[in-house]
Structure 1
Amino acid sequence: MVLVGMDTPQLGPAIRPVLRPWPDDVDAWFGPALDGGFWALGVRRPDGSLVRGIPMSRNDTGERTVGRLRSAGLRVRPLPTLSDIDGIADLVAVARAIPASRTAAAFAAAARSAAPAAS
């Protein structure tokens, strides 16, 4: 089972290891986010207790999640750290990272419509 955050459109090659056959020594994949959360979580055998009760959207969510996985005896392999989009600064950074994307186009269009008209 793989959970991918919908607020991380710049996945690109970062997600590839999860989509290939998993090495025998990997029970879980963890993609940390810059804000302390995560953008991806993959587990070989789905089990809701691995994440149930972990507070989300906090700067220690990722650390707590990895701790829970390891406490369950899972061998966790990290994925690259990415920025998810939780605010405007994140959106600007992601749009710059993937300038040809729909995310960047939508941001540019929103910025144009929000700009004051020239007099």
Structure 2
Amino acid sequence: MATTNRGENRRRPCRAWPPPQVGWNTASHCPRRWAARRGLQQNPQLLLIGTDCPHLNPALLQAAAHRLGQCEAMFHPTCDGGYALLGLRRFSPRLFEDIPWSTDRVAELTRARIRELGWCFHQGECLRDIDEPDDLFWLPSQWLGAALFDR
């Protein structure tokens, strides 16, 4: 609830984000595009990260932020053809247009777009993300033990 100047409580409508997945592959509905535009309006650089990559640890994020200070874009591709991290210091909607999300072409097309835009970029090491049941093999072993015994 929001508080007015008089201290009265009133309800404000809540907008859900991301929007419903109708036309999801259009750039206007892409949450990455929205986050990149919004983030770069408020910060000189940003890192967009996936939540399904256990190898995105603090040291890797710090190294990515440092590397981004030397170029306009950087990313860590995933072994299945996507990316786990995209760092930007510039924004262009073109970077997110006509990308077939959740396919093995995402990193390849993103790399091509960055080159098309003429941006300096760095590509980090290939990381494993967890998209399918077979990917659970790549979870750090200490995570599995914690999941079993922390109940």
- What's the TM-score bracket when you normalise by the shorter of the two chains? 0.7 to 0.9
The structure number with the bigger radius of gyration is 2
Amino acid of the structure 2 residue aligned with 1:69: I
1:9 to 54, 63, 66: 54
How large is the RMSD of aligned CA atoms in angstroms? 2.0
**Runs of 5+ unmatched residues, structure 2:** 1-45
Aligned pair in 2 of structure 1 residues 104, 41: CA closer, same or farther (>3 Å)? Answer: farther
Mapped to 2, the partners of 1:75 and 1:83 lie a distance apart of: 25
SS at match of 1:100: helix
Amino acid of the structure 1 residue aligned with 2:63: P
1:89-118: per-residue Cα shift (whole Å, max 9, x none)?
11221x2xx2223x6633x47xxxxxxxxx
Identity %: 31
Count matched residues. Answer: 102
**Contact 2:65–2:87 (CA<8 Å) still a contact in 1?**
no
- What residue number does 1:55 align with? 100
Instruction: Tell me the CA shift for residue 81 of structure 1.
Output: 0.7
* Higher relative contact order, structure no. (Cα contacts within 8 Å, ≥ 6 residues apart): 1
- What residue number does 2:146 align with? 105
Mapped to 2, the partners of 1:68 and 1:33 lie a distance apart of: 17
When normalised by structure 2's length, the TM-score is 0.60
When normalised by structure 1's length, the TM-score is 0.74
